[in-house]
A and B are shown apart, each in its own frame.
Chain A
Amino acid sequence: MVMLKELPKEELVLQGNASCAGCAASLALRLTLKVMGSKTIFVVPACCTSIIQGQFPSSSLNIPVLNIAFATTGATASGVVAGLRMRGIKDVTVIGWAGDGGTVDIGIQALSGAAERRTDFIYICYDNEAYGNTGMQRSGATPIGAWTTTTPTGKRENKKDMAFIMAAHRIPYIATAVPSYPADFIEKLEKAKKIKGTRYLHVLTPCPPGWRSDADLSIELGRLAVQTGMWVLFEMENGVFSISSPSRLALDKTKRKPVEEYLKLQGRFRHLTTEEVVQLQKAVDATLDYYTKLNGQRIFPQITD
């Protein structure tokens, strides 16, 4: 059980960073660094975080950060891990920290390669469901129906299921999280820190300017995402799928909040027709049914080495 009060006081995300007011990605970063500590090297592609870091000569992150080209997080991190190993440096955690664009679209090849090679690092995708850095164009992680600047009448395609793509790589640890459930998030970070091999975390990070929501709602939105089942918290530890406790309530159809409660707080869904919302609800219900059956099952055979 994670006691939030036991989190260290030290802030490795320094005050005065360039994030928007209410940025859940900034919070996710702050909490991640509280768990990972200062013996961490971050590999950060072009994404909101590279902006949040701020401009030369200042940086708001008090750890070594390698800012690198958009597509390369998984590959660059592989190089950092290899370099540290060759230099005999053993106690440093390498973390690839990338947005959804740099993970599910342009960065997917490098991540896939790194996972296939069982690179010993943690990859964290913080997902604001669009290309935030460049002004909210659609990404593969944009959910169906969402407005973005390149899907002005709503995205027609489903959100790419990155966690299950990573499962196909048969890596030892995969988890979804959201900062709105900090204890769950922190527990997953701590677990990831202890495991060897490629570890993947996918964190939903509500984005006020991108989602067209009020700045003070970022935590509430993350909570509603889970309570409606639009975002499901789960883990795949060594291939075994398990729903995390904050999501268990949503599995129960009677306790599940209707998707409208989540959608109505976001301007990016404002244009949805009643029919479209019904479809969305059906899709969520179907996914949750599926996950209920999957709960406790193996997604892939036991990793033996």
Chain B
Amino acid sequence: MLKTIVETGNHIAGLAALAARAQVVAAYPITPQTQIVEEIAELVDSGKMNAEYICVESEHSAMSACIGASTVGARTFTATSAHGLAYMHEMLHWASGARLPIVMAVVNRAMGPPWTIWADHGDSLPQRDTGWVQIYCASNQEIFDSIIQAYRVCEDQRVLMPAMICLEGFILSHTSTPIKIPDQKEIDDFLPPFKPGWILDVENPVSHGNIVSPEYYMELRYYMHEALEKAKQLIPKVAREYSEKFDLPNYGGLIEEYMCDDADVILISMGTIGSEAKLAVKKLRDEGYKVGSARIRVFRPFPREAVREMATRAKALAIIDRDISFGMEGILFTEVRSTLFDLPKKHLTKNFIAGLGGRDVTQSDIEDVAKKTFRILETGVGVEGIEWVNLRR
């Protein structure tokens, strides 16, 4: 039985934490995440949510408290954005290194200075090496579904790694849309109680996290890497199970492909640019362009095989980054290119930087990106260099 509600992305993230039966939430407010913590505070205070809610005094402490709770067997949840995420960076490493399946909503917001509260991926993408699963949502429904599924994947004994579910600030977080929520009982069926991979227990005392010589450290990192590779296999399976059980969208598992099968040019992006891209593709197809869109949902573990598979038949890839790695290029661009490097066929790849600091990326902008890529493909001119979309000069 599905119930339809109309809510903003933030409130939906909070409701997902409730549905997932998170037991300890430790969080610190930051625009544009605040409604998540407020929703949870209300749910806990009213008794609707059976959880301990710790109003910590900083994001670094938020992740620390989540770690503490998780080590004694509690299912934990938190949320943050931008500078809050940056502030907890040290502890992101700790959570993954400690193999704790903490789930966190990241409401994507650009980094300052200058201060900005609007969306881009410059907060979460630089965290890509911390060992966290990263999933980028393009709709409020996907936020809810991804949070529930993340617990299933992360708590699997073969994974035991934390996950961040990313949603763009204001675009999703503050936009109300209808979504469908399954029955709590059915969710409980899908997501059983947390069984930790290890636990602090007075009956079986161990020290956890202490110093390890060069003789042992590498193996632990190898296991973490392996765990994310396992997650890569598990995520689409769990997504399929969820989608079939609840009759809800699948989003394609690791990548949401739209009209890619016979496309000459594929637009690759993440988040809501990916859903806007579908509209652009539809219009361009009507105009005769053989174009498709591939929205990468799961950025970590990076879906190498799926990207190669998706790109096989295409000639050119336009990769739209809502981020920039200064002194290099867009992060998604680097990762896609690296993934394609060993293929016998050399794709034309063009990097477009768009939407930084929340600058709007419209359907028409994406159509322009596609058309530009077609032109480059035809003429061979303009392959080099990064294109900054709508940059004022």
Interface residues, chain A, CB within 8 Å of chain B? 38-41, 43, 50-51, 53-57, 59, 61-69, 71-72, 74-87, 89, 92, 109-110, 112-113, 116-117
**Inter-chain CB contacts under 8 Å: number:** 161
Can you list, as one digit per residue, whether each of B70-82 has a CB less than 8 Å from chain A (1) or not (0)? 1111101000000
Instruction: Judge whether B337 is part of the interface by a CB distance below 8 angstroms.
Output: no
Complex CA–CA separation, A41 to B208 (angstroms): 11
Complex CA–CA separation, A189 to B77 (angstroms): 34
Output the nearest chain A residue to B215 by Cβ-Cβ distance. A56
**B74 close to A55 (CB less than 8 A):** no
Q: Knowing A62-B205, A72-B61, A72-B91 touch, does A83 contact B73 (C-beta < 8 A)?
A: yes
Output the nearest chain A residue to B70 by Cβ-Cβ distance. A83
Q: Knowing A80-B72, A84-B72 touch, does A56 contact B52 (C-beta < 8 A)?
A: no
Q: Knowing A50-B211, A78-B26 touch, does A40 contact B202 (C-beta < 8 A)?
A: yes
Q: Closest Cβ of chain A: how far from B23's Cβ, in Å?
A: 4
- Please indicate which of the listed interface residues A54, A78, A83, A85 has the most CB atoms of chain B within 10 Å of its own CB: A83
Instruction: Judge whether B54 is part of the interface by a CB distance below 8 angstroms.
Output: yes
Contacts of B202 in A (CB 8 A): 38-41, 63-64, 92
- Please indicate which of the listed interface residues A38, A84, A86 has the most CB atoms of chain B within 10 Å of its own CB: A86
Contacts of A56 in B (CB 8 A): 210-213, 216
**B72 close to A83 (CB less than 8 A):** yes
Instruction: Judge whether B2 is part of the interface by a CB distance below 8 angstroms.
Output: no
Q: Closest Cβ of chain B: how far from A243's Cβ, in Å?
A: 32
7 closest Cβ pairs, A-B complex = A79-B68, A113-B57, A75-B61, A79-B65, A83-B69, A83-B74, A72-B64
Instruction: Judge whether B55 is part of the interface by a CB distance below 8 angstroms.
Output: yes
**B24 close to A82 (CB less than 8 A):** yes
Q: Closest Cβ of chain A: how far from B86's Cβ, in Å?
A: 15
Complex CA–CA separation, A27 to B26 (angstroms): 35
**A66 close to B200 (CB less than 8 A):** yes
**B68 close to A78 (CB less than 8 A):** yes
Complex CA–CA separation, A59 to B207 (angstroms): 6
Complex CA–CA separation, A110 to B58 (angstroms): 8
**B26 close to A61 (CB less than 8 A):** no
Given contact pairs A50-B211, A56-B210, A83-B73, enumerate 19 new A-B contacts (beta carbons under 8 Å): A56-B211, A56-B216, A59-B206, A64-B204, A64-B206, A65-B200, A65-B210, A68-B64, A68-B94, A68-B209, A69-B64, A69-B94, A72-B61, A82-B26, A83-B71, A83-B74, A86-B69, A92-B202, A113-B61
Contacts of B58 in A (CB 8 A): 75, 109-110, 113
**A75 close to B205 (CB less than 8 A):** no
Q: Closest Cβ of chain B: how far from A72's Cβ, in Å?
A: 4
Q: Closest Cβ of chain B: how far from A97's Cβ, in Å?
A: 12
Output the nearest chain A residue to B62 by Cβ-Cβ distance. A75
Q: Knowing A56-B211, A78-B26 touch, does A66 contact B68 (C-beta < 8 A)?
A: yes
Complex CA–CA separation, A50 to B56 (angstroms): 25
Q: Closest Cβ of chain A: how far from B1's Cβ, in Å?
A: 28
A-B contact pairs, 9 of them (CB 8 A): A39-B202, A53-B210, A65-B210, A67-B208, A75-B65, A77-B68, A79-B64, A83-B76, A87-B73
Contacts of B54 in A (CB 8 A): 78-79, 82, 117
Instruction: Judge whether B90 is part of the interface by a CB distance below 8 angstroms.
Output: yes
- Please indicate which of the listed interface residues A62, A65, A75 has the most CB atoms of chain B within 10 Å of its own CB: A75
